[in-house]
């Protein structure tokens, strides 16, 4: 199991793994220690059956202000060379950390306070459920600096919000307040400032109470069928769904309902 890095805190809250971006002096801008910690956190969540969900958040009233090129070049105070060796050994590690090349099998909930811009908004698009404080800000600022949002936004954003909104966000580089981000569908909940993590953990608790095999199969089916025709998607759904009915967890769920008690799921 991982213990995080100087810029990434890993904690357990019940069956939820909480990954906290921890670089408040830089509004949690991405650094190499943060990316390595994120990558290890996603892998831990995938491999540990005791983890039912993941919450991603940030300290200091900020989510993530994007990439910090100086920090990436310099490594970290702790084991800087070792961290750079990790990146050299897996040149895609940073993309996996940002959820560009990796989709965790457990549900990922973003709890956003303050700025969630540039690389922050790109990571956000790799999460499944999104909660934001009322004062949160979103946006893809790359074009304002003559840059390209290469973390996946030109592919994913228009699949998550209507194309007109995706193109406006991508081409203007303007900030979006939380209420507007919710209206276009980028986030699902707007809550009072300082309560995004509380709401995210509430949602995680609801997910954690459900059958883990069913939850993971449902998530996988949603993403697998997203670009299929309806007919192909319905066929694919059956390949994911039918095996769940044969699990001991499915029988336990029905038995617990009949006996009017909470189910005890064992991932079998």
CA separation for the pair 109, 128 (Å, rounded): 6
Residue 142 a catalytic site member: yes
Q: How far apart are the first and last CA of the chain?
A: 23
- 181-217 burial, b for 16+ CB within 10 Å, e for fewer? bbebebbbbbbeeebbbebbbebbeebbebbbbbbbb
Which of 213, 242, 244, 240 shows the shortest CA–CA distance to 224?
240
Q: List helix spans (H) across 161-227.
A: 163-172, 178-183, 196-208, 212-224
Taking the CA atoms of 138, 140, 142 and 145 in sequence, report the sign of the dihedral they define. negative
Exposed / middle / buried, residue 176 (Cβ in 10 Å: 0-12, 13-18, 19+): buried
Which of 219, 17, 30, 198 shows the shortest CA–CA distance to 119?
30
Candidate list 25, 122, 180, 237, residue with the active-site label: 122
Pair 46, 96: CB distance under 8 Å = no
Q: Which residues contact 102 (CB under 8 A, 6 or more apart)?
A: 39, 42, 95, 96, 126
Which of 21, 18, 26 shows the shortest CA–CA distance to 7?
21
Residue 122 a catalytic site member: yes
Candidate list 142, 180, 202, 224, residue with the active-site label: 142
Pair 117, 139: CB distance under 8 Å = yes
Active-site residues, by number, are 122, 142
């Amino acid at each position: 199991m991982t213990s995080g890095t100087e810029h990434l805190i890993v904690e357990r809250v019940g069956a939820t793994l909480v990954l906290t971006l921890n670089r408040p002096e830089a509004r949690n801008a991405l650094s190499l220690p943060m990316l390595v910690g994120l990558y290890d956190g996603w892998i831990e969540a995938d491999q540990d059956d005791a983890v039912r969900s993941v919450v991603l958040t940030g300290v200091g009233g900020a989510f993530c202000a994007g990439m910090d090129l100086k920090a990436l070049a310099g490594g970290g105070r702790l084991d800087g060379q070792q961290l750079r060796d990790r990146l050299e050994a897996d040149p895609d590690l940073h993309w996996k950390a940002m959820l560009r090349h990796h989709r965790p099998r457990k549900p990922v909930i973003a709890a956003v306070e303050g700025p969630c811009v540039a690389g922050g908004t790109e990571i956000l698009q790799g999460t499944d459920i999104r909660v934001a404080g009322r004062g949160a800000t979103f946006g893809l600022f790359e074009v304002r600096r003559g840059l390209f949002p290469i973390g996946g936004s030109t592919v994913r954003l228009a699949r998550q919000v209507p194309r007109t909104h995706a193109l406006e966000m991508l081409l203007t580089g303007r900030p979006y307040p939380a209420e507007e981000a919710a209206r276009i569908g980028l986030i699902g909940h707007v809550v009072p400032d300082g309560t995004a993590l509380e709401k995210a953990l509430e949602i995680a608790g609801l997910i954690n109470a459900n059958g883990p095999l069913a939850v993971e199969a449902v998530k996988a089916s949603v993403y697998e069928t997203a670009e299929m025709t309806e007919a192909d998607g319905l066929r694919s759904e059956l390949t994911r769904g039918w095996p769940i009915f044969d699990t001991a967890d499915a029988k336990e769920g029905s038995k617990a309902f009949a006996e009017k008690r909470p189910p005890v799921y064992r991932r079998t």
